A = this chain, B = another copy of it.
């Protein structure tokens, strides 16, 4: 902590001349890791501010921050492990450095144009879990995959269904995605065929990044969400629907998902989304006590408005506020059996789909299993074609009418190898 006076928040007239309404203003301050063009071998923690990035470790040294060691790292894991009180202090310091007029000349030495940076995966992923928390998505998928059964399985409204995915293939936005090969069994075929997936899809999701670990054998309650979760990221859970459909009974998705999962280069601090907290949809089935959030101090939903585009054309605008299960419920469920959390655990919401057709977060739903292709300016799409570039972006309401921008997630499909 410094002895300086509190920061003067002057959006639109800050020391670093941020344009008014910039979604990466002083209320946001997401963390990333990148290398500057001149120093490709020095990955370092940066904080996004408008179209600039702050070299957080160098600034912390210059300002004499007691947390400089956590910021002078090639990835976020040490900062993430430090826990909520440190996250709050570091965030307050960053905001002060970037916005208080007396720091203007100092902080400018550590700001660089974002355009000169190559962004990296900002943290080492420990375990990756993917949930299935949108009732609209689960209902649509159930109707498409199991047309003769109930759309939702009997457990769906009693627990947030989830499964572990492959942490080692989580990649940062901008990483190309090679079309996977695998087994698929077309209808009316006896034996499976092998080859490149013909039903390559995306899933627009929101990822939660665990900072503070927990002890094996001990559950984390709903109220522990803010203590353990460091930040939020957009996430594209690339999915090969034909591989998935053939493999997933009885042990769940495996190769249909494990080839790649893309995350944003930017981790939005959970605190930056305080103004976006909102009540989740009414639950129509009572839940067990460990999942009952009716009495929680903070509303569990987050009003995050996602845009999905293919080759620059918007194809869906899924509302995260429509999710049936919240991230706090997912954390409580994930640990209720005593499973421990590690710094770097990443868990994703599952596809975000709203009630309207234009709010569906994957092509499987948007094209209803490929039967109703989308009409894009460059042709129709049932599923992704080689060369297609998918971009997820999002924003949330911030304090005082501001917007909190989420870092985008981009990925281009490369031909199979």
Residues of A at the B interface (CB closer than 8 Å) are: 126-128, 132, 153-155, 158-159, 161-169, 171, 178, 180-183, 185, 191-192, 194, 216-219, 240, 243, 246-256, 258-260, 286, 288-290, 333-334, 336-342, 345, 414, 417
Contacts and interface: CB of A to CB of B under 8 A. Distances in A.
Contact of A337 (B128, B158, B180, B414): B180
Contacts of A169: 216, 339-340
13 contacts: A127-B168, A155-B185, A159-B183, A162-B254, A168-B339, A169-B339, A178-B216, A181-B336, A192-B288, A194-B289, A248-B252, A251-B252, A258-B339
A56 B167 CA distance: 31
Given A161-B251, A251-B161, A251-B252, A127 B166 contact: yes
A339 B251 contact: no
Give the top 6 A-B pairs by smallest Cβ distance, nearest first.
A252-B252, A178-B217, A180-B337, A164-B164, A163-B251, A255-B337
A191 B159 CA distance: 11
| Residue from A191, A194, A250, A258 with most neighbouring chain B CB atoms (10 Å) | A250
A337 B250 contact: no
A147 to B, nearest CB: 14
Contacts of A288: 183, 192, 194
A272 to B, nearest CB: 27
Given A159-B183, A288-B183, A337-B243, A250 B251 contact: no
A286 B191 CA distance: 9
Contacts of A252: 163, 248, 250-253
A180 B338 contact: yes
A180 B337 CA distance: 5
A48 to B, nearest CB: 26
Contacts of A246: 155
A334 B256 CA distance: 11
Contact of A250 (B153, B183, B192, B333): B153
A334 B167 CA distance: 14
Contact of A183 (B158, B185, B258): B158
A168 B260 contact: no
Contacts of A180: 337-338
A79 to B, nearest CB: 19
A338 B159 contact: no
B254 A164 contact: yes
Contacts of A216: 169, 171, 178, 259-260
Contacts of A341: 168
| Residue from A162, A178, A337 with most neighbouring chain B CB atoms (10 Å) | A337
A378 to B, nearest CB: 25
